[in-house]
Amino acid sequence: MRPKWDEYFMEIAEVVKKRSTCLRRQVGAIIVKDNRILTTGYNGVPPKMSHCEELGCLRQKLNIPSGQRHELCRALHAEQNAIVQAAKYGISIEDSTIYITSQPCIICAKLIIASGIKRIVYSGDYPDELSMQMLNESGVEVVNLKY
């Protein structure tokens, strides 16, 4: 059967996450407007830096639980990378939809709100209630696409 648009773009986000170099959680994101892909992103370190696969994960070494102490991670999140790509190449993401293979964290939620993205579709859970509270307060539509 032909997938609906949300399913179609989420399947693409699942493929994008395969590029992730994170040792703990692989996440993919794509930003879409008018059913056209604008940018993609996966979690990994900034360009020209050694990947966590090569150096190891500090958060893992320190036994930091998921959702805590983001500042100790070398990587950018998938959502951050997708938003950065739009900024780098001058692509407006105002009123777009972001598809993410995991619920966004609070840092990514704030970036999504500030960037003008109007809708989030995600498929995986993440332990961050504050992110969902802020997204709801901001008026960003949030859809949990459960498989």
Coil, helix or strand at residue 39:
strand
Residues in CB range of 109: below 8 A, 6 or more apart:
128, 130, 131, 132, 134, 135
Is residue 52 marked as binding? Answer: no
Residues in CB range of 23: below 8 A, 6 or more apart:
52, 53, 56, 57, 60
Distance CA 121, CA 142 (A): 6
Sequence-ordered strand ranges (E) for 25-118: 28-33, 36-42, 97-100
Q: Which of 53, 71, 79, 141 is catalytic?
A: 79
Question: Is 53 annotated in the active site?
Answer: no
Is residue 108 marked as binding? Answer: yes
Contact between 112 and 136 (Cβ < 8 Å): no
> What are the catalytic residues?
79
Task: Please state the residue numbers annotated as binding site for Zn(2+).
Answer: 77, 105, 108
